[in-house]
Amino acid sequence: MSNDPGKNQEDEDRMHEFTTLSGADTIEVGRQLVRVLKPPQLLILRGDLGTGKTTLVKGIAQALDAAEADEVTSPTFTLIHEYGEGRVYHVDLYRLDEPREVATLGLEEIFDRDSMVLIEWGERFPRLLPANRTEIRIRPVGEDEREIEVRQT
Ligand code: ADP
Ligand code: MG
């Protein structure tokens, strides 16, 4: 624990935590996050397979009027999905191993737009992503319970 109360306060200000009990709950958290996380914004979604990263994107895309929740599907094989004419980009780097493979995707061009960019498995390629980003960690607690931690850096 830090001895500097000012720093603790700052950390608290930048952190949000949620507990959800269903996929629908997590979609609702995504909708709420759009109130505080406005585009342009880079969100790194962290968490094991099947924890709810893509589910959270459904709520974010819906709240930005970019797509309906059921239109948002995993970009695991397609790598990048675009919704709402570039308002939202959803990227999944799970299947890529080498930084040079990521470099061919043209992500820099996307970062230059006024978009909400959501990246799953982006923490595997930290040097290829702008430092100014928000990290969202999803941890499974029980079968359907998740802890969602949002940290703005
Ligand atoms: P990821 O993108 O992290 O691999 P998905 O969002 O594709 O995960 O899948 C999460 C799965 O877990 C979905 O089938 C969803 O219905 C289910 N699920 C159960 N409880 C929750 C919860 N609290 N939050 C998010 N997803 C949940
Ligand atoms: Mg996913």
* Cis bond upstream, residue 40 (ω within 30): yes
Residue 3: band (very low, low, confident or very high) from pLDDT cuts 50, 70, 90: very low
Q: Which atom of ligand 1 is nearest to the CA of 120?
A: 2
Taking the centre of ligand 1 as the mean of its atom positions, its distance from the CA of residue 51, in whole angstroms, is 5
Q: Is the CB of 26 under 6 A from ligand 1?
A: yes
Q: Which CATH superfamily is domain 5-152 in?
A: P-loop containing nucleotide triphosphate hydrolases (3.40.50.300)
Does any ligand 1 atom lie closer than 6 A to the CB of residue 137? no
Does the pTM exceed 0.95? no
For 113-140, what is each residue's pLDDT tens digit? 999 999 999 999 999 999 999 999 999 9
